[in-house]
Amino acid sequence: MSSTSAPRDARWVKSTYSGAQGECVEWAPGHALATGEFLVRDSKNPSGPHLALSSNGFAGLVELAKNHA
């Protein structure tokens, strides 16, 4: 896991596990498909930092969200 600069043309999508109270997580599926690197960020701070996860790290994050939804 690392925090990197997001590609300028990355298209971000809100996670279906984002909460109704504004705690939204976004990811860049096109970037993941093209590079294998899964970018995740806080939708309330789109110009802020993001995480770059491996496919296993992203799967773990999704599993964590499922178990705490």
Alpha-carbon distance 6 to 2, whole Å?
Answer: 11
pLDDT of residue 21: 67
pLDDT in tens, 12-40: 998 776 666 666 889 999 999 999 999 99
pLDDT of residue 33: 93
Let me know the angle formed at the C-alpha of 39 by 38 and 45, rounded to the nearest 5 degrees: 160
Alpha-carbon distance 44 to 58, whole Å?
Answer: 20
DSSP 8-state secondary structure symbol assigned to residue 63:
H
Alpha helices in the chain (DSSP H): 29-35, 55-68
pLDDT of residue 22: 63
Going by their DSSP bridges, the two strands 13-14 and 50-53 should be labelled as unpaired
**Average pLDDT over the chain, rounded to an integer:** 83
Q: How confident is the model at residue 3 (pLDDT cuts 50, 70, 90)?
A: very low
Q: How confident is the model at residue 8 (pLDDT cuts 50, 70, 90)?
A: low
